[in-house]
Amino acid sequence: MIQRMSHTTVLVLNQEEALEFYRDKLGFDVVTDFTMEGGFRWLTVAPKAQPNLELVLAEPTAGPMFDADTAAKVRELVKQGAFGIGVFETADCRATHRELSAKGVEFTTPPTDRFYGIEALGKDNSGNWFSLTQRKQQS
């Protein structure tokens, strides 16, 4: 029986640049950074408040997951911003938006009131979009 999700993959164009983005701009912790035989780098990060969910920062390259042609197509889709990587929850969307914007994080929408709370849409340095969301207070 499946108990929980422990890892999810974020396809990035350059692992070192993605590491700098997620660690230095978003404030995530590095959980694992290990280069295996053959040069494959297993790189994971996690939000400080949620260390049991690791984001695998993976470059789409030819190997066990993709053949060379598919890897090239996936890289192009990443560049085009075709992938959403999820929702990052925050207690104060407007304050977090200001903080991340000051660090150079690109946002495509400002914090906006929605039926579920306050949301801003941002992009990582590979082009993946994410939602920064403050849940609506339950009354």
pLDDT at residue 43, rounded to an integer: 97
How many CA atoms, within 13 angstroms, populate the side-chain half-sphere of residue 113? 1
Q: Give the phi and the psi of residue 8 in degrees, each rounded to 5.
A: -140, 150
pLDDT at residue 44, rounded to an integer: 98
CA atoms of 114 and 21, how far apart (whole Å): 27
C-alpha to C-alpha distances, 89 to 7, 21, 136, nearest whole angstrom: 17, 17, 11
Q: What is the pLDDT of residues 53-84, one digit of tens each?
A: 999 999 998 877 899 999 999 999 999 999 99
Domain annotation covers residue 2: no
CA atoms of 23 and 37, how far apart (whole Å): 25
Name the helix (H) or strand (E) containing 29: strand 29-35
pLDDT at residue 62, rounded to an integer: 83
Q: Please check whether residue 92 is in contact with residue 110, taking contact to mean a CB–CB distance below 8 angstroms.
A: no
139 falls in which pLDDT band (50, 70, 90)?
Answer: low
Domain annotation covers residue 1: no
Mean pLDDT of the chain: 95
How many CA atoms, within 13 angstroms, populate the side-chain half-sphere of residue 16? 1
CA atoms of 85 and 31, how far apart (whole Å): 18
Whether the pLDDT of residue 129 is over 80: the answer is yes
Domain annotation covers residue 39: yes
This prediction's pTM: 0.93
Domain annotation covers residue 98: yes
- Which CATH number is 11's domain given? 3.10.180.10
| Number of domains observed in the structure of the chain | 1
CA atoms of 27 and 48, how far apart (whole Å): 7
Q: What is the mean pLDDT of residues 122-130?
A: 97
Closest CA relative to residue 6, chosen from 28, 31, 41:
31
Domain annotation covers residue 71: yes
Where in the sequence is the domain holding 51, given as residue range(s)? 7-135
pLDDT at residue 38, rounded to an integer: 79
Q: Which residue has the higher pLDDT, 10 or 139?
A: 10
Q: What is the pLDDT of residues 76-107, one digit of tens each?
A: 999 999 999 999 999 999 999 999 999 999 99
